[in-house]
Amino acid sequence: MASILGAGLMKVSSHWNMSIEDLAFEAAEQAMRDANTEKVDAIIVANAFSGVANGQENLAAHIASNLGMARKPSFKIELEGASGGAALVAACSLLNRYDRILLIGVEKLSDVTSLEDISSVVSSSINREHEGILGATVYSHHALMMREYMRRYKLEERDFGHFPIMMHENAINVPHAQLRFKVSMKEYIESPYVSTPLKLMDIPSEADGAAAIILSRSDGPVKVAGIGFSGNEAIITHRVDSLDLENVTSAFNMAMQEAGIGIKDLDFIQIHDTSSVLAYLQIESLGLSDKGKAARDTENGKFRRDGEIPINPEGGMKARGYPVGASGIYQLAESYMQLKGAADGYQIQGAKNCAVVSLGGLASSCIVAVLRR
């Protein structure tokens, strides 16, 4: 069984004075200090957009060199927002060869200086020939899913405001979060449209960030108890049902079965909330709410940090911020801190088990990890 020995987190922000290698270096140094080690046997870098956003490929080798570990095996994994989850899958499969593996998630999107360009960068995750060429963006796809969810379950736009309001409230006391302020329903309703009916307050802010964990086959404070991995049609119009995230259910069930626990044993869950509608669909696909009822359950406080089953106690992608390819490693590092009891100011008391859900694209890939202390 794999264990997490240490973790490091950079504040999610616009780090104008740091390169992508600088960000990775800082997170890695924090993780190694936390694990009380200077030795790792391999390095895996999770990143989505270094080629298009920073003009930098061969990223893992450059990061390894910057860490003074040029001779260590290193490689980069890209699976859009699920890059961190994919890095975990790869690392666990390599623990029969290497005892300690450094996983670094890093993204630097402040190098992209216009809204048009950042939209193009993050929309490179959709199919260029079938969707992008028609002017579609990742945001317009979220809007189509939101429109269908509203139609099917007879909801209004304000029903989607409950989730971002909760995320911003969770992030207030989180030092590494980007957006540490509360949001009211009035502010949500008045926020501008990104792609009707999707509002600015429905989506996270793409940002710079780096997080790192050290994974080992040796015994450590937090164990990786189970992993599930499942795919879906990458083009949403090719899906029988655009709102069906069956792969999330499948990956979750795989991970829970491997961990040998039930949903009531989970003390919190990290989901991949790249929009309010995608958050609701995940909540329902995980069996936390009935179909079409995630908004009601969120409004009623079921998923608050002090609720029945807390979701994203650090504010999730929405308020912690969204350094895309690094986000999965952030989720793992945050979960490690919660399970160690080291989440000062935002701790879920007595947490022993959690599930981490990482999505690539519009849930075309789903990786779920169950962690326990």
Kindly write down the DSSP assignment for every residue of 83-98, as one continuous string: HHHHHHHHHHHHTTT-
254-258 long-range contacts, CB within 8 A, separation 24+: 254/226, 254/227, 254/228, 254/229, 254/230, 254/368, 255/226, 255/227, 255/228, 255/355, 255/368, 255/369, 255/370, 256/226, 256/228, 256/355, 256/370, 257/226, 258/225, 258/226, 258/227, 258/228, 258/370
Separation of alpha carbons 293 and 229, rounded Å = 26
Give residue 118's pLDDT band: very low, low, confident or very high (50, 70, 90).
confident
From residue 62, alpha-carbon distances to 19, 23, 252 in Å are: 12, 12, 35
- Determine if the pTM surpasses 0.75: yes
Per residue in 6-51, pLDDT (tens digit) is: 999 999 999 999 999 999 999 999 999 999 999 999 999 999 999 9
- Dihedrals phi, psi of 113, to nearest 5 degrees: -105, 0
Q: What is the mean pLDDT of residues 191-198?
A: 97
- Quote the pLDDT of residue 330: 98
CB atoms within 10 A of CB 92: 17
Q: What is the pLDDT of residue 351?
A: 98
| DSSP letter assigned to residue 204 | P
pLDDT higher than threshold 70 for residue 175: yes
- Domains of the chain, each with CATH number or no CATH: 2-112+207-216 (3.40.47.10)
What's the CA gap between 142 and 199, in Å, rounded?
A: 10
Residue 213 has pLDDT above 90, yes or no: yes
Tokens of 59: 């990223």
End-to-end C-alpha distance for the chain, whole angstroms: 12
Helices (H), the chain: 20-34, 50-54, 59-66, 83-94, 115-122, 138-153, 162-171, 185-190, 246-259, 276-285, 294-299, 316-320, 327-340
Contact 294, 288 (CB under 8 A): yes
pLDDT for residue 115: 58
Predicted pLDDT at 57? 95
- Work out the percent of the chain whose per-residue pLDDT is above 90: 91
Q: What is the mean pLDDT of the segment spanning 283-300?
A: 98
Q: Average pLDDT of the chain?
A: 95
**Average pLDDT, integer, range 304-327:** 97
121: its two tokens: 């960068």
Q: What is the pLDDT of residues 329-354, one digit of tens each?
A: 999 999 999 999 999 999 999 999 99
pLDDT for residue 40: 98
Percent of the chain with pLDDT over 70: 99
pLDDT for 114 beyond 70? no
* pLDDT 10s digits, 46-64: 999 999 999 999 999 999 9
- Reported confidence tier of residue 197, pLDDT bands at 50, 70, 90: very high
According to DSSP, the β-strands at 198-199 and 42-46 are: unpaired
Q: What are phi and psi of 6, to 5 degrees?
A: -170, 165
Model confidence at 321, in pLDDT bands (50, 70, 90)? Answer: very high
Indicate the pLDDT class of residue 281, thresholds 50, 70 and 90. Answer: very high
* pLDDT confidence bin for 98, thresholds 50/70/90: very high
Neighbours of 66 (CB within 10 A): 16
The residue-averaged pLDDT of 260-275 equals 98
